[in-house]
Amino acid sequence: MAQAAKKPKAEKEAHKPAVAPVAEARAYAKYIRSSPRKLNLVAQTIRGKSAGKALTDLDFSSRRIAIDVKKVLQSAVANAENNHNMDVDRLYVAEATVGRAIKMKRFMARARGRGAPIVKEFSRLTIVVRERQA
């Protein structure tokens, strides 16, 4: 059996279509005092929405963690406006990802000299905003 000749790496990359880089702005929050599961419920509500609509939805959300999500979204919008010269009216939430951070471990005293573990979870949040193409 004859093996097929391998193409040089430069030749392979030459056939890839050129994709215009998409301008985006990010904002992070590292140690949010809420479990990732609860935070993700709020993050789901803003994914794909325009930045203005997402801020309004977070204003009227009944969840406590919506305040922290709103701060991160406002920071991402400010980064887009000041650092990347994007039009604020055309921004939308491209990504809102939630991850796990540290866990504080505590114990609560129980009957007969025992202790019950309490795990206080922290989360991290990343919001990416992009400009909609006109």
pLDDT in tens, 88-131: 999 999 999 999 999 999 999 999 999 999 999 999 999 999 99
State the average pLDDT for the chain.
90
106 SS3 class = strand
Q: Please give the pLDDT value at position 15.
A: 61
Query: pLDDT per residue over 46-58, tens digit each?
Result: 999 999 999 999 9
Report the C-alpha gap between 10 and 99 in whole angstroms.
Answer: 37
24-131 CATH: 3.90.470.10
13: pLDDT confidence band, cut at 50, 70 and 90?
Answer: low
* 3-class SS letters over 29-95: EEEECCCHHHHHHHHHHHCCCEHHHHHHHHHCCCCCCHHHHHHHHHHHHHHHHHHCCCCHHHEEEEE
Q: Please give the pLDDT value at position 133.
A: 85
- Residue 83: pLDDT above 90? yes
Place of tokens 């990732």: 36
